[in-house]
Amino acid sequence: MLRLSGFFRQPSLRFARTFQERQQEKNLKKQEESFKKYLEDISSKEVYYLRDFKQEIMELIKNSGNALSKFWQSGTQIEEAEKEKTKKILNAFHDSELTEERFELDTKKEIALVSGYNVDDVNKVLRQFRLNQKIHRYLKERREKGEPLPENRNELDNMVLVDPPKRTREEKKRSQGSYSKKQLKYVRYSRGN
């Protein structure tokens, strides 16, 4: 009788590891390419609206695992629930609201009511949007100066640490706090300004 057991053996562990390593490298390269394309797209836009953020999130939910998964790593139920929550909140915005800069408390309450979540959840989504807006401004400035765009997420993080984005007038005002003119005089004096 002919022995075929050697022919149908499972591949060696070494081969399996190298195959897995190649797959990981392939996936990593694919993610870096899609992240680079994402950075090109975001930096080429003149203005970054909530509409753009909504479009990115919907694409993220549709194509889990691409470069936009910088917000969430797909897989667990908690993260899937977070994606659904964000989707519902973004869908609660009217089309006219998707191009607004600021949102009043009444608008946030209405969105929370329509989406079925609370105002804190709406604020969390808006914070993510503002972070993306900040990244957009930073990349747009780099592109206008003729400086290279980052190749991957780590490079972007390092660039932001070394050369942080400029704060807008609104961000500066928020960080100052609300002081009266008299208090501001003493605050400036104590800071040495």
Which CATH number belongs to the domain containing residue 69 in this structure? 1.10.260.30
Q: How many residues does the chain have?
A: 193
pLDDT at 44: 86
Question: Does residue 181 sit within a domain?
Answer: no
Concatenated DSSP letters of 177-193: ----HHHHHHHHHHHT-
Question: Does residue 172 sit within a domain?
Answer: no
Question: Does residue 177 sit within a domain?
Answer: no
pLDDT at 12: 57
Question: Does residue 46 sit within a domain?
Answer: yes
Count of structural domains, the chain = 1
pLDDT at 125: 93
pLDDT of residue 114 exceeding 90, the answer is yes
Query: In this prediction, what percent of the chain has a pLDDT beyond 90?
Result: 19
DSSP code, position 99: G
pLDDT at 118: 93
State pTM to two decimals.
Answer: 0.68
Confidence of residue 71 (pLDDT cuts 50, 70, 90): very low
Question: Does residue 95 sit within a domain?
Answer: yes
Question: Does residue 62 sit within a domain?
Answer: yes
Which range of residues forms the domain containing residue 114? 14-167
**What element of type H or E holds 15?**
helix 13-44
pLDDT at 178: 67
Question: Does residue 109 sit within a domain?
Answer: yes
Give the lowest-confidence range in 10-14, 76-80, 174-178.
Answer: 10-14
Question: Does residue 176 sit within a domain?
Answer: no
Neighbours of 45 (CB within 10 A): 12
